[in-house]
Amino acid sequence: MRLSRGFLPTLKEVPAEAQIASHRLMLRAGLVRQTSAGIYAWLPVGLRVLRNIEQIVREEQNAIGAQEVLMPTVQSSELWKRSGRYDAYGPEMLRIRDRQDRELLYGPTNEEMITDLFGQVIKSYRELPQALYHVQWKFRDELRPRFGVMRGREFFMKDAYSFDASYEDAVATYRRMMLAYLRTFQRLGVRAVPMKADTGPIGGDLSHEFLVLAPTGESGVFFDAALEEQDWLHENVDIADHASLEVFFNGVTRFYAATDEMHDETSWEDVPADRRREGRGIEVGHIFYFGTKYTESMGISVSGPDGAQFFPEMGSYGIGVSRLVGAVIEASHDEAGIIWPDSVAPYRAAILSLKPGDEAVDALCERLYGAAPDAFLYDDRSERAGVKFNDADLMGHPWQMIVGPRGAKEGKVELKRRATGERFELTAEDALAKVLGTDGAGKDAA
RNA sequence: CGGGGCGUGGCGCAGCCUGGUAGCGCGCUUGUUUUGGGUACAAGAGGCCCCCGGUUCGAGUCCGGGCGCCCCGACCA
């Protein structure tokens, strides 16, 4: 993208409503604009980040055999009356009436819908297990939206739902999902620690939430350092084998990890002092097993090997995709702006033309830009160098390719790594190879 | 939902108490200048002062009602 043509409103001054770093930076870097309380329009750069995160989430869901569907945002109240949640859900649910006065709602979650869909299609234990997910907009009418996209009313979320024939199978599914989550967050360049969670009103007894470590997190967290040191991408787990999954799962859960609500001082004392990590975290994912709660309440059963009907065991698994955009920024920024992990960055690099109009500079910039126009944001504006440096730091591109008149004469580019501030003086070819060579997977994990 | 605050050019704000025909900084436009970390000068454009009603000769300012947004708390992917 040529910046001179981009719909990319960077701000020098911070809008008054933004309180925390990620919100401020998202507005300043031109990622989003608020349209109502807790409702945001995603501008081109913000959308690229959102899509990058979504894609990594999708790949890891697919990798454990979950199948993608896309369910609607608007749902009929009928489904929710069947499960009994229409009355139970409360004012968080946005209720709508259509012109025929039918009761509709903007979905806050999709357990009912997926269970109904499942029931329409799956009739026999032979067709189990099934794991379905979608990535879709949701709406919860929060009393008090805040923190930008981190606590919006409308949000983009991956939610997966699993159906198994037995408790044992459901547990295996749960463990597979935990592995997928650990890998997903690692690829996103953030550290997310799984913590035992309260199963709450939904019930069930297997539940973990994943918290990204960031000083502005809403919950206090206590965990064993071992949990932030593992390389889940290279952890050897056979996801088809229950025993292998169990080894993996025990390997994760044997370490202490709890949010302040679940914190237990006595167990905490058992963690060696030098391995105790205390901080704050932002919840970005939640997995739980809840058994037959919905299959039973909605009357969805399948036939078993003995010919008798039974209720499949379910779990559900969410990742807050839009929230993650904010969470990644919370976990990765400095005074100057965002520091995108390679894997989610909207552009791999900014090309900073320090002297548009200079023949050598223009030629070199065009050559770089032409090599991968979709990967680069080419700052071709006739602005001062300082403006461009500041905007590039603010937007947080992993690399800056700085082209000035001095270097351009010799075909040299100055490469700056945003995260570390390292600078390299390279030929155009070497610079391109270095910048385009970083595919990001896991490389930025802190 | 309880408590607090705010709505004035695109953004950040002053003006309101003590009514008299709207101002500052940034941004934007044009020209000159500058050219490796938000350049300087000059000339411009841009405002239903959130909305409705009331008081008044006169309302951004006072009064009533509404809407919107933010902050603290309770609640949450």
Q: What is the tens place of the pLDDT at every residue in A48-104?
A: 999 999 999 999 999 999 999 999 999 999 999 998 888 888 888 999 888 898 999
Strands A349-353 and A399-403: parallel
Per-residue pLDDT, A445: 36
- Which one of 3.40.50.800, 3.40.50.1980, 3.40.50.1820, 3.30.310.50 gives the CATH number of domain A341-437? 3.40.50.800
For residues A344-360, average pLDDT? 94
d(Cα A54, Cα A135) in Å, to the nearest integer? 8
Strand B within 7 A of A143 CB:
yes
Grouping H, G, I as helix, E, B as strand and the rest as coil, residue A8 is coil
C1' (B59) to CA (A20) span, angstroms: 38
**A 197-216: CB within 7 Å of strand B:** 200, 209
Here the tokens at position A160 are 């997966």
Q: Which ranges in chain A are annotated with CATH 3.40.50.800?
A: 341-437
Q: Could you report the per-residue pLDDT of A257-309, keeping only the tens digit for each?
A: 988 888 888 899 999 999 999 988 999 999 999 899 899 999 999 999 999 99
Provide the mean pLDDT of chain A.
Answer: 92
Residue A130 has pLDDT above 80, yes or no: yes
* CA-to-CA dists, residue A223 to A266, A271, A287, A392, A440, angstroms: 13, 9, 18, 35, 27
The type of residue at A108 is: P
In chain A, the percentage of residues whose pLDDT exceeds 70 is 96
Asked which of A79-83, A89-93, A111-115, A351-355 is least confident by mean pLDDT, the reply is A89-93
Per-residue pLDDT, A206: 87
Q: Which ranges in chain A are annotated with CATH 3.30.930.10?
A: 31-331
Cβ contact A185:A284 at 8 Å:
yes
C1' (B44) to CA (A379) span, angstroms: 28
Cβ contact A381:A227 at 8 Å:
no
Per-residue pLDDT, A204: 52
Strands A67-68 and A130-139: parallel
Per-residue pLDDT, A146: 87
Residue A199 has pLDDT above 70, yes or no: no
The type of residue at A21 is: A
Here the tokens at position A402 are 């700085």
- Complex prediction ipTM: 0.89
Per-residue pLDDT, A12: 87
Residue A202 has pLDDT above 60, yes or no: no
Cα atoms in the 13 Å half-sphere on the side-chain side of A384:
3
C1' (B76) to CA (A261) span, angstroms: 14
Per-residue pLDDT, A203: 52
For residues A32-40, average pLDDT? 91
Per-residue pLDDT, A398: 97
User: Which positions on chain B have an atom < 7 Å from some protein CB?
Assistant: 1-2, 10-13, 25-27, 34-39, 68-77
CATH topology of domain A31-331: BirA Bifunctional Protein; domain 2 (3.30.930)
Ordered strands of the A103-106 beta sheet = A74-76, A103-106, A94-97
Strand B within 7 A of A397 CB:
no
Grouping H, G, I as helix, E, B as strand and the rest as coil, residue A410 is coil
d(Cα A115, Cα A192) in Å, to the nearest integer? 29
Asked which of A83-97, A385-399, A402-416, A424-438 is least confident by mean pLDDT, the reply is A83-97
Cβ contact A189:A445 at 8 Å:
yes
**A 300-359: CB within 7 Å of strand B:** 318-320, 322-323, 336, 354-355
- Of the candidates A390, A413, A387, the one whose C-alpha atom is nearest the C-alpha of residue A402 is A413
Asked which of A111-120, A261-270, A387-396 is least confident by mean pLDDT, the reply is A261-270
